[in-house]
Amino acid sequence: MSISALMSADLVIVEPGTTTPLGVEITNRGTETDQVEIRIEGLDPEWTAVPVPVLNLDPNETGHAKVFFKPSRASESLAGNYPFVIRFRSLVTGEERTGQGVLQVQPYQNLSLEVSPRKGFISAAKRMNTFSVTVVNLGNTEHTVHLNAGDPENECTYEWSAEKVQVGPGQQREVEVTVTPNRRSSFGQSRLVGFSATGRSVEVPSASCGGQAQLEIRPLLSPGSLVAAIALFILLLVLWITAPKPARMVKLMAIGGTKVYVGSPVTITWAAENALNVEVKAGSDNIGEELETEGSTVITPKLAGTLVVTAFAIRKDGSKGEARELILTVETPPIVPDPSISKLEVDPKEVPLGSQFTLTYAFGPEVVKATLSPFQTELDLNTDKYLVPAPTKVGLNEYEIIATNKAGKIVRKKFSVQVFEPILAKIIAFSVEPETVTEEGSSVTVKWQATSAARVELSYTGGKTQELAAEGMVVVPITGKTNFTIKVFDQNGKTVTQSKTVEYKPVAPTMDSGTDATTAGTTGDGEDRLRGPGDAGRPGSPNRAR
């Protein structure tokens, strides 16, 4: 065991819209420096955050980190228990540890009710009025809502199409309520009755909602009132038809507002009534003299200051009628520095398929927006790190950062990571003993241990390749220098190999003390030498006594 991991709790209670941390403790029990990756599985990635996804641990060092749970305060964050797994994986040995827990999302209630239309009426031809009541559940639990309606004076009767509706999280239900007045008058003033519609949850009585509307009860007109109204209408109609109508401007405006910049085009729109055409001026420049009575044009201010746009309604006799002015404030455009990307680093630069990597970035103060392509993800300018989703393609994966300033200028910078398909199989141990032999015909012991292996093969100099179990030991006789190679295949056909070499160093024979003195000679420089029986009479190739 090279790593161990411990969670501070296995039950995390969180209210939607808040962030709750969970501490983890990781210990490197190996003898080498290790890097441990922390990953949360089983939950929506939007609900979790791992600020430090990889811990660097020295031998026997214990590191602490925190992971955070943050379900949004939305109807999609349903109340309930969500099991999750925190996976701790050594990036050096591939060893994994897991911790299991439960995320308990607390319920919250948010009901709303709206009555449409806000105002209805009752007339001689209309005996009742139907209102539409919409109940919206913005909480994260389901509610059965009991509906009721009433007014303070009990002047109306209310009939619901359904008195109870079941509304799930994020859903809305629409029902109708028919309002009928209890009494009506043929003559007199109209009466306005205000009523309220309410809803209350059957499961959680404290969760309620309400809305208000009005009902106008109109009486029948008297014959005299009706005759007077008709006569007045006819008189006004005759006066309106016979009266001359002046040519006037009814609209003159700048699309986008009256504050503009030098060199920036601005669209001016106008409308006139009872006019032959329209004349428009921008300062001392005449834009047009016989323009349509309703239209638009584009002008480009050249100087900073105040620019007065004037539009005249031209009468049918060719004279100028009513004019309207539009005052534009022309300012020098601010100088916006070009956007810059001051830092862009990835860690690691080579990642296994299906693993995330960390992007570290920094931008100049003029940058107001930064986007990571091809995901079109907007980066948070208040932080300097982003955990990039796991690549799905083996090989070179290219990305691009697009930084934008408030003037709309952009700068692009590309980076790439090399993605490789991980080898699932691993060689835990491989040894050949002894590593050196001195006699021909000696044997060596080969031991091995592999994990996640679909097949294991052993080959050596002078021998046939043989298939082995995932763990075991064999004794092999050798006659000289021998190279041993173990090859482990995973389920995808990927291989990992290790090799060991056994050296063959024979010991030179040693002369016995009883050797015939006649085999001994003396070299020319006075040093005694021993000659073997095959070297008798030959001064060359002496063997030094050992």
CATH code where residue 399 lies: 2.60.40.10
Q: Please tell me whether residues 476 and 430 are part of one structural domain.
A: yes
Q: Which of 364, 394, 420 is the last residue of a domain?
A: 420
Both structure tokens of 289 = 């003299």
Are residues 213 and 115 located together in one domain of the fold? yes
Pair 63, 129 in one domain? no
Confidence (pLDDT) at 217: 85
In this structure, the answer to whether residues 71 and 127 fall within a common structural domain is no
- Asked whether residue 20 falls in the same domain as residue 101, the answer is yes
In a domain, 268, yes or no: yes
Query: Is residue 498 located within the same domain as residue 524?
Result: no
**What's the pLDDT at 527?**
38
Of 172, 47, 42, 24, whose CA–CA distance to 105 is shortest? 47
Q: Is residue 450 part of a domain?
A: yes
Residue 528: per-residue pLDDT: 38
My answer on whether 201 and 298 are in the same domain is no
Is position 332 within any domain? no
What pLDDT shows up at residue 506? 83
Does some domain include residue 236? no
Token output for 386: 């982003």
Q: Which of 403, 420, 437 is the last residue of a domain?
A: 420
pTM of structure: 0.40
Give the model's pLDDT for residue 283: 85
Question: Which pLDDT does position 335 carry in this prediction?
Answer: 81
Rounded Cα distance, 297 and 303, in Å: 19
pLDDT, position 370: 94
Q: Looking at the 3D structure of the chain, how many domains does it have?
A: 6
Domain carrying residue 446: 426-504
Q: Distance of CA 340 to CAs 259, 363, 369, 374, 402, Å?
A: 29, 6, 11, 20, 10
227, 228, 229, 230: CA torsion to nearest 10? 50
From 61, 86, 105, give the residue that closes a domain: 105
Tell me the backbone φ, ψ of residue 517, rounded to 5 degrees: -65, -15
pLDDT tens per residue across span 470-527: 899 999 988 888 899 999 998 888 898 999 998 888 877 665 544 444 443 433 343 3
- Is residue 71 located within the same domain as residue 99? yes
Token representation of residue 186: 């043929």
Query: Which residues, given as ranges, of the chain have pLDDT below 70?
Result: 1, 186-188, 220-226, 244, 509-546
Q: Tell me what pLDDT residue 420 has.
A: 85
Asked if residue 172 and residue 155 are part of one domain, the reply reads yes
Strand pairing report for 208-217 and 119-122:
parallel
In a domain, 237, yes or no: no
Same domain for 139 and 57, yes or no, is: no
Please check whether residues 210 and 115 belong to one and the same domain. yes
Please give the Cα distance from 149 to 155 (Å, whole number). Answer: 12
Whether residues 97 and 131 fall in one domain = no
Q: Which of 94, 87, 101 is nearest to 26 (CA)?
A: 87
Are 356 and 388 within 8 A, CB to CB?
Answer: yes
pLDDT at residue 541, as a whole number: 37
Q: Give the sign of the dihedral formed by CA 289, CA 290, CA 294, CA 295.
A: negative
For residue 306 the two structure tokens come to: 């105040």
Query: Is residue 312 in some structural domain?
Result: yes
Task: Report yes or no on 14 lying in a domain.
Answer: yes
Is 229 a member of any domain? no
CA angle centred on 25, ends 71 and 70, rounded to 5°: 5
Task: Report pLDDT for 161.
Answer: 93
Contact status, residue 147 vs residue 173, Cβ threshold 8 Å: no
Strands (E), 141-276: 143-150, 156-160, 164-167, 172-181, 191-201, 208-217, 248-254, 259-261, 266-273
